[in-house]
Amino acid sequence: MATKIGIDAGGTLTKIAYWDEKKQLHLLNFLSSNFKAVKDWIESNHSLASICLTGGRAEQLKKYLLSQNDIPYIVEFDATMAGVMYQLKQENIHCEKAIIANIGTGTSIHLMNGESHRRLGGTGIGGGTLIGLGQVLTGITSYEEMINLSKSGSREFIDILVSDIYESNKLPLNGSLTASNFGGVALKSTENKSHADYLSGLQGIIGEVVASLCIQAADAHNVNRVIYIGSTLENNDLLKKIIQSYTNLKEKEPIFLEKHGYSGAIGALLESI
Ligand code: ADP
Ligand code: MG
């Protein structure tokens, strides 16, 4: 039985965070296309709990729940920031100033400076791109299946590296940087590329686009650390590896929080009274 519940209704997933009677934190999610499952979950065991909502689909969920009581709402970015600060504390990470990238359906980029925060921008390249383009390239619709298969792929014949172009010429920049994501499909040997290779290359696009934007934002605001969150990192070690090495390469420190996708839900939970 939950006493307090935070719900982050996002474009793809509705994330739920709650405390039980023993103050133990629990996390779960449902597809946002299945509000019925969310409603059933609340009604089955937790109808007496106090709820706080956040996320782009919060209003839609509120209407769907048809609650007699008005359900409190917290602005998404405030909730996310509160959830990030809570997790930093839990994980004993001391971080005053950082860029925060929320890799959800799309990606939103923020500057955290002490208690305050501001949105800097974002990109439509995100988790939705992974499952959408991934489906076009392979026909696979399951997120788990897609990220598992991507792990066994190789980007060698998918991408073109700076070193592929410069070969033995003196390199003007790091040769291991990607010169062209997916350019190798058109320009490299006719070698057969597998679904795994395509998915691996796709993870490369997402990780490198997001990391590049964050690095530029970090440079512009004199920040050394980038905190990456969002459910696109859930069980997704390959994406984390890509982001980590790109961020390190540009001499910034990447931070991944344990409960990637749940910052918004945890932030809403902290607000529930
Ligand atoms: P939003 O808040 O926009 O819903 P999330 O942070 O929840 O975004 O991230 C959504 C992304 O997480 C999806 O686009 C997908 O890449 C990934 N993902 C993780 N788990 C799942 C899942 N079970 N089903 C679909 N997508 C998932
Ligand atoms: Mg979200």
- Is the C-alpha dihedral spanning 210, 123, 120, 31 positive or negative? negative
CA pair distance 169, 149, nearest whole angstrom? 36
Same domain, 53 and 146: no
Same domain, 37 and 147: no
Same domain, 17 and 64: yes
Residue to mutate, 129, 145, 148, 232, ligand 1, most ligand atoms under 8 Å from C-beta: 232
**What is the residue range of 213's domain?**
127-153+194-256
Q: Which of 232, 261, 262, 226 is nearest to 245 (CA)?
A: 226
73, part of any domain = yes
Place of tokens 């990238």: 101
Q: Which of 262, 256, 207 is nearest to 227 (CA)?
A: 256
Same domain, 146 and 220: yes
| pLDDT, averaged across the chain | 94
Which residue, judged by its Cα, is nearest atom 27 of ligand 1?
143
Same domain, 227 and 252: yes
Region 244-267: what's the mean pLDDT?
Answer: 96
**CATH number reported for the structural domain that contains residue 138 in this entry:** 3.30.420.40
| pLDDT 10s digits, 62-82 | 999 987 678 999 999 999 999
Q: Which of 28, 228, 236, 14 is nearest to 130 (CA)?
A: 236
pLDDT (0 to 100) of residue 202: 98
| pLDDT 10s digits, 95-128 | 999 999 999 999 999 999 998 999 999 999 999 9
Tell me the residues surrounding ligand 2 (ion) with CB < 5 Å.
10, 104
CA pair distance 174, 188, nearest whole angstrom? 20
The residues annotated as belonging to the active site are 76
Rg for the chain (alpha carbons), in Å? 20
Same domain, 131 and 60: no
Given a cut of 80, is residue 191 above it in pLDDT? Answer: no
Same domain, 204 and 242: yes
Cα dihedral angle (157, 162, 167, 172), rounded to 10 degrees? 180
112, part of any domain = no
Are 233 and 103 spatial neighbours (Cβ–Cβ below 8 Å)? Answer: yes
21, part of any domain = yes
- The answer for residues whose C-beta is within 8 angstroms of residue 183's C-beta and 6 or more apart is 159, 160
- The answer for residues whose C-beta is within 8 angstroms of residue 5's C-beta and 6 or more apart is 16, 17, 18, 42, 46, 49, 50, 51, 52, 269, 272
* 101 bridge partner residues: 109, 228
165, part of any domain = no
| pLDDT 10s digits, 208-237 | 999 999 999 999 999 999 999 999 999 999
Higher per-residue confidence, 7 vs 175: 7
| pLDDT 10s digits, 124-177 | 999 999 999 999 999 999 999 999 999 999 999 999 999 999 888 888 888 889
What percentage of the chain exceeds 90 in pLDDT?
A: 85
- The answer for residues whose C-beta is within 8 angstroms of residue 244's C-beta and 6 or more apart is 254, 256
CA pair distance 145, 213, nearest whole angstrom? 28
Helix H or strand E segment including 245:
helix 237-249
Same domain, 38 and 144: no
Number of domains in the chain: 2
* 29 bridge partner residues: 15
121, part of any domain = no
Same domain, 267 and 223: no
58, part of any domain = yes
Ligand 1 centre from 261 Cα, in Å?
8
Same domain, 36 and 131: no
CA pair distance 34, 42, nearest whole angstrom? 13
Are 220 and 178 spatial neighbours (Cβ–Cβ below 8 Å)? Answer: no
Given a cut of 80, is residue 250 above it in pLDDT? Answer: yes
120, part of any domain = no
Given a cut of 90, is residue 2 above it in pLDDT? Answer: no
Same domain, 267 and 224: no
pLDDT (0 to 100) of residue 68: 66
Same domain, 221 and 267: no
- Measuring from each residue's beta carbon to the nearest atom of ligand 1, which residues come in under 6 Å? 10-13, 104-105, 127-128, 130-131, 143, 230-232, 234, 261
Place of tokens 């026909």: 139
93, part of any domain = no
Residue to mutate, 60, 105, 150, ligand 1, most ligand atoms under 8 Å from C-beta: 105
